[in-house]
Amino acid sequence: MKNTTIAVHGGTRKDDTFGAINEPIYMTSNYRIPTDGTPVDWSGTHSNIYQRNRNVNQMVLQDKLCAMTGAEDCAVFASGVAALSAVFTTFLNSGDHAIVSEVCYSATNLLFRKYLPEKYNIEVTLLDTTDTEAVRAAVRPNTKLIHVETPGNPTTGVSDLDAIAEIAHAAGALLSVDATFAGPVCLYPLRRGADLEIHSMTKYINGHGDSLGGCVLGATKLIDEIKELAMVNYGGILSPFNAWLIARGLVTAPLRMRQHSENALAVARWLEACPAVRFVWYPGLESHPQHDRAVRYMNGQYSGMISFDLNGDEAAHQRFLNALTLVTHAVSLGDVESLIVYYDKSSDKLPHYPEIYREGFFRFSIGLEDAEDIIADLEQAMKISGIL
């Protein structure tokens, strides 16, 4: 079946007692333990015992994610950061070395710059993973994990997953890939040699801006380790209601990603031609530094994330934000509505980004509005702010 069909029908329905088409929400903290001799997995990762270990709505969501990505198994968590932390704390031990995308989500950056080295004695090399040879040169005898974010947040840099998977496996390390910026349809890291695929489900998987969640996909052996440590014993479980909301959103993900991608390409092309724009990066543009990789990896859909900047000082940038009427000034991404946030010169992250970003820039999440309306809002805000 095609992915649009799998999104609707994939996975296993857990309860058809009353013939309901939609899965119920199972608001229970406990489950009845069998007394008929049925084997019970007291770890709770393969038996329903207690909601922190496993709940039915979680299982429905995991099954659908596996059906859509081809993963053997999946673990879902209360947030994207919980999913990332689950991977890092499960597979990295004191004295291990990790290679990590320097351009990455702020919580990932902080975990590897501060908490994991200081609290757990984990050695870390942060570098530009779009530079494959830099990744190769950073490998050490104690390298246990290479973590890549692609496209990178917020610069949209695209890493060469095929080559990095070979590097990781030759070193006896795992490759984990945060593909949140690509969503669940535009990129399939597991098919490119990744051992673990991670998403903040808050973004494109849910798609409606109304619930938090994170997921890790991969081989059952690896996912079982993650579930036992991070889900059962760290307790980062996803609630049944949020699991239900995200599963509902996931049904339309292929349709939404198609529209996000079409809109973003139209907006990016308009920005590229606009004299008020200092630069624009979008993987679907031929001018993007890793466009050829994006063509190879992203299946003709380049998601909805654009980074760009305008000519003018910071006051002009703020006037532009204030003049927007359709596009919302807000963090996060992947919602049905367009969201924009500005990184000014005071951001401590700018030194880690490509040089063109260091004067400040916008991260722009393109929504599902008509592309012409998004462009019209940008144009009128540029004119009001005096930039155009």
Catalytic sites, residue numbers: 52, 105, 178, 203
φ/ψ (deg, to 5) at 187: -150, 140
Say if residues 302 and 261 touch (Cβ distance below 8 Å): yes
CA 91, CA 228: separation in Å to the nearest integer? 12
φ/ψ (deg, to 5) at 67: -60, -35
Q: In this structure, are strands 339-343 and 328-329 parallel, antiparallel, or unpaired?
A: parallel
| Residue 383 three-state SS | helix
**Residue that the structure tokens 């007394």 belong to:** 35
DSSP alpha helices (H): ranges in 70-171? 80-91, 106-110, 116-120, 132-138, 161-170
CA 83, CA 87: separation in Å to the nearest integer? 7
CA 152, CA 159: separation in Å to the nearest integer? 8
Burial code (b: 16+ CB inside 10 Å, e: under 16) for 158-177 equals bbbbebbbebbeebebbbbb
CA 132, CA 103: separation in Å to the nearest integer? 14
CA 50, CA 374: separation in Å to the nearest integer? 46
What are the C-alpha distances in Å from 141 to residues 173, 195, 341?
A: 10, 19, 40
Query: Among candidates 106, 104, 99, 141, which has minimal Cα distance to 123?
Result: 99
